[in-house]
């Protein structure tokens, strides 16, 4: 065995065995002079020892010298992230042998992975660019923070958008799933501005439509998830009121405005849970009760079903809202216009002609027989200007709306 090279801390040895050369290393400070096998060379093939969980050897085929992507003294790949991935992230049921070539195509054959050297080098170039961009971004974030803390620092504020490829790679479904509706809107504004760069109306229209569709899907998915949580827990009326107050104009596009009805003189002391104005200026009153609220009771003497006391009270309240609104239609319209006026706008023009009341209460699980369902249908269809909606019916509407947007 002959010594063929010396570094600051290592001695490199060569051993000839038949048509092969075996290369070893020895640490100078090792008093036992232990020699560690690095690789074997046979013709233009290098068999390199690798201490991976699954990969124990990397074979380089068709090379006159060991490529620079691997450390010639052992220890694996030069690039740490590549080293760690092949060492720890590859399992034996995936591959147990890695072959790096110059000519053949990259592929997987049984448990052997073949990779082209030029493709690996391109990958390493991208990794290095990513790391440099990441380091640059870190520096920018630190500088921006210091300027924010004390403007006397002589650093210019910079935007952290210096890696276009990184940004484009992250524009995928996984990112969309994590974004809120407000964040989608922020991206949308950038999206439209970017489209205007090319002064193409067809491109702007297509991009705007796609953005709107994705924003609707994301918003509805978020709303449905929250709705299901409230429904499963039979939430209090106040929680449903907060939910509808925040989201109804998003999932029911008929509505353009919400009104603070308590600011309007009504002549009654009880107020609707929600007052909405649709896109045509007509008013709807909402009464929201619990999803577990009992709906109907059986009258054994007449062999029929009737509204429970709680539901009858809600219907009575809703009827009272409608009656007061009709009696005071002109003054209500005038008051609404006045309280919604701003410096730039005269206020809402609303129509209080045949207003509607929508009661949302109960769920279809309570109607557990065909007879109950039939009587409930008859009872709610007998209501004048009042729509009675079950909570799970509204959930089905939301899901159907989401499906139609996805297919559109």
Residue ranges covered by each domain of the chain: 2-124, 171-222, 234-407
The Cα–Cα gap between 362 and 289 comes to 8
- Global model pTM greater than 0.85: no
Please give the Cα distance from 358 to 315 (Å, whole number). Answer: 10
CA 339 to chain centre: 38
Distance set, CA 162 to CA 7, 167, 176, 354 (Å): 39, 9, 22, 58
d(CA 224, CA 235): 15
- The whole-number mean pLDDT for each consecutive block of 10 residues of the chain, a chain of 408 residues, reads 93 96 95 94 96 94 95 94 92 90 90 94 88 82 83 72 65 76 75 67 64 75 92 92 89 85 57 88 92 94 92 94 86 85 85 90 94 94 94 93 84
Tell me, what's the pLDDT at 76?
A: 95
Q: Which of these, 268, 256, 253, lies nearest to 219 by C-alpha position?
A: 253
Contact between 287 and 240 under an 8 Å Cβ cutoff? The reply is no
* DSSP letter assigned to residue 156: -
pLDDT at 160 (0 to 100):
64
Please report the pLDDT score of residue 290 as a whole number: 93
98/41 Cα distance (integer angstroms): 16
The pLDDT of residue 204? 60
**Sign of the C-alpha dihedral, residues 273, 274, 275, 280?**
negative
Residues 6+ apart with CB under 8 A from 283: 259, 275, 276, 277, 325, 350, 351, 352, 355, 356
State residue 149's pLDDT score.
83
């Amino acid at each position: 065995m002959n010594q063929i090279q010396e570094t600051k801390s290592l001695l490199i040895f060569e051993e000839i065995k038949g048509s092969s050369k075996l290369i070893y290393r020895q640490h100078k400070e090792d008093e036992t002079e232990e020699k560690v096998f690095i690789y074997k060379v046979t013709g233009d093939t290098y068999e390199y020892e690798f201490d991976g969980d699954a990969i124990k050897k990397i074979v380089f085929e068709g090379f006159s010298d060991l490529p620079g992507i691997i450390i010639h003294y052992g220890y694996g790949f030069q690039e740490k992230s590549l080293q760690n991935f092949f060492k720890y992230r590859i399992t034996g049921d995936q591959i147990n042998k890695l072959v790096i070539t110059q000519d053949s195509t990259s592929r997987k054959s049984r448990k052997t992975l073949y990779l082209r050297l030029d493709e690996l080098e391109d990958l390493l170039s991208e990794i290095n660019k990513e790391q440099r961009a990441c380091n640059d971004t870190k520096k920018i974030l630190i500088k921006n923070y210091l300027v924010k803390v004390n403007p006397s620092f002589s650093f210019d504020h910079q935007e952290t958008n210096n890696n276009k490829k990184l940004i484009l790679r992250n524009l995928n479904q996984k990112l969309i799933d994590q974004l809120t509706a407000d964040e989608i809107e922020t991206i949308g504004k950038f999206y439209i501005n970017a489209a205007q760069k090319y002064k193409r109306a067809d491109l702007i229209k297509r991009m705007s439509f796609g953005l709107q569709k994705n924003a609707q899907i994301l918003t509805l998915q978020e709303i449905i998830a929250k709705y299901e949580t409230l429904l499963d827990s039979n939430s209090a009326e106040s929680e449903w009121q907060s939910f509808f107050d925040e989201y109804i104009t998003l999932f029911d596009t008929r509505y353009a405005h919400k009104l603070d009805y308590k600011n309007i003189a009504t002549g009654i002391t009880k107020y609707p849970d929600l007052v909405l104005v649709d896109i045509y200026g007509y008013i709807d009153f909402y009464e929201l009760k619990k999803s577990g609220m009992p709906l109907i009771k059986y009258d054994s003497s007449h062999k029929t079903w009737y509204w429970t006391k709680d539901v009858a009270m809600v219907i009575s309240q809703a009827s009272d809202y409608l009656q007061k609104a009709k009696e005071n239609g002109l003054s209500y319209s005038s008051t609404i216009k006045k309280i919604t006026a701003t410096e730039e706008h005269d206020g809402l023009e609303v129509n209080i002609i045949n207003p509607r009341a929508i009661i949302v209460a109960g769920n279809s699980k309570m109607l557990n027989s065909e007879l109950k369902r039939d009587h409930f249908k008859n009872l709610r269809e007998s209501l004048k200007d009042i729509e009675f909606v079950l909570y799970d019916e509204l959930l089905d509407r939301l899901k159907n709306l989401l499906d139609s947007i996805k297919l559109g």
